């Protein structure tokens, strides 16, 4: 199935989701997660003149979330290269035949500031929602720990989200914003 035509303009941001074929795992061990993260960096370098910026990400066992900003091109080139390179690595390592990813990828245009904030929170809370961890900072394969200052930033542009919070305390305020959703959902349960 072809990816629907993308509504693109310079500066557009998208929530990209790539899912394993038949919802199968696309990451089987820590090396796999690390290779995918390395390929994100390599793809950003490869397309440096396209000026893609990864805002945040979360790699789950059977799917990936990436919030990306585009400048000179739609996100398709970046995502196709990233997923193609990873599929080649995965297929070789596991002697896998066939499509690793279901369809090509799903994209959702971010249309306003509220949607941008909600999407970053949704991405960072994905492992909590899946009951893989209790707190988002416990999950190793997302950009959340970079956002809250536990890990040094690498290959992301947290400023595109943190700018919505008071500069002196933006990381603490972002953490409160994300974790408030956990408290609300537990209270509603």
Q: Is residue 1 part of a domain?
A: no
Does 127 have pLDDT greater than 60? yes
User: For residue range 86-103, what is the model confidence (pLDDT) as tens digits?
Assistant: 999 999 999 999 899 998
pTM score: 0.93
DSSP letters of 33-88? Answer: HHHHHHHHHHHHHHTGGGT-EEEEEEE-SSEEEEEEE-SSS-THHHHHHHHHHHHH
Q: Is residue 84 part of a domain?
A: yes
User: For residue range 44-68, what is the model confidence (pLDDT) as tens digits?
Assistant: 999 999 999 999 999 999 999 999 9
- State the Cα–Cα distance between residues 92 and 125, nearest whole angstrom: 32
Q: Is residue 6 part of a domain?
A: no
Q: 163 lies in which domain range?
A: 13-188
User: For residue range 13-54, what is the model confidence (pLDDT) as tens digits?
Assistant: 999 999 999 999 999 999 999 999 999 999 999 999 999 999
Q: Is residue 2 part of a domain?
A: no
Q: Is residue 4 part of a domain?
A: no
Q: Is residue 3 part of a domain?
A: no
Domain count of the fold of the chain: 1
- pLDDT confidence of 117, banded at 50, 70, 90? very high
Q: Say what the pLDDT of residue 183 is.
A: 78
CATH number, domain at 53?
3.30.70.1290
Q: Is residue 8 part of a domain?
A: no
- pLDDT confidence of 2, banded at 50, 70, 90? low
Longest Cα separation, the chain: 51
Mean pLDDT confidence for 68-78:
95
Q: Say what the pLDDT of residue 81 is.
A: 97
């Amino acid at each position: 199935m072809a990816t629907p035509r993308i509504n693109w303009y310079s500066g557009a941001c998208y929530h990209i989701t790539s899912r394993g074929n038949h919802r199968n795992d696309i990451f089987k061990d820590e090396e796999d997660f690390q290779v995918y993260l390395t390929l994100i960096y390599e793809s950003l370098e490869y397309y440096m003149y396209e000026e893609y910026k990864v805002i945040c990400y979360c790699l789950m066992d059977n799917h990936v979330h990436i919030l990306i900003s585009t400048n000179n091109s739609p996100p398709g080139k970046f995502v196709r290269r990233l997923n193609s390179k990873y599929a080649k690595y995965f297929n070789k390592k596991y002697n896998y035949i066939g499509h690793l990813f279901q369809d090509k990828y799903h994209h959702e245009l971010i249309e306003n500031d509220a949607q941008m904030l909600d999407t970053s929170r949704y991405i960072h809370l994905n492992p909590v929602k899946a009951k893989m961890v209790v707190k988002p900072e416990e999950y190793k394969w997302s950009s959340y720990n970079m956002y809250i200052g536990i890990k040094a930033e690498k290959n992301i542009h947290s400023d595109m989200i943190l700018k919505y919070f008071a500069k002196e305390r933006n990381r603490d305020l972002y953490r409160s914003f994300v974790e408030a959703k956990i408290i609300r959902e537990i209270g509603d349960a």
